[in-house]
Amino acid sequence: AQTVTQSQPEMSVQEAETVTLSCTYDTSESDYYLFWYKQPPSRQMILVIRQEAYKQQNATENRFSVNFQKAAKSFSLKISDSQLGDAAMYFCAYRGSQNAGNNRKLIWGLGTSLAVNP
């Protein structure tokens, strides 16, 4: 079974600095999708960034980028120029590529709580 591990329960960063959140996963599949979701204090989860495993190029969304290392099964999130509004819980998630059965489901990590210090 697939698993997702976020080894950093809590992280902190100074405003305007860069921070990297770690995520590793375990799978026997060759094709899959990876996601980072943000959960601010308002509770509503929103997608930050996603990566298709078949793409070698790392995904980027404005100040957010990933370091996807397929062989190492690592999917870290880098937040550049951190802002106070980035303070939130960040969840890493995995989904298999086959759109049937269990592969419809996302496998979630336990989250990393990010604090941004002014």
Partner 1 sequence: NAGVTQTPKFRVLKTGQSMTLLCAQDMNHEYMYWYRQDPGMGLRLIHYSVGEGTTAKGEVPDGYNVSRLKKQNFLLGLESAAPSQTSVYFCASSYRRTNEKLFFGSGTQLSVL
Binding residues (CB under 8 A) for partner 1: these are: 33, 35, 37, 42-47, 50, 52, 91, 95-99, 103-106, 108-111
**Shortest distance (Å) from residue 118 CB to partner 1:** 26
C-beta of 20: minimal distance to partner 1 in Å? 20
Residue closer to partner 1 (CB basis): 62 or 118: 62
Nearer to partner 1 by Cβ, of 19 and 35: the residue is: 35
Place of tokens 């269990």: 102
Transcribe 26-71 into DSSP letters: E-S-SSEEEEEEEE-TT---EEEEEEETT--SPPEETTEEEEEETT
Give least dist CB 69 to partner 1, A.
Answer: 19
Quote the CA–CA distance of 14 and 26 in Å, as a whole number. Answer: 32
Q: Token pair for residue 23?
A: 């995520």
Q: Shortest approach of partner 1 to residue 33 CB, angstroms?
A: 5
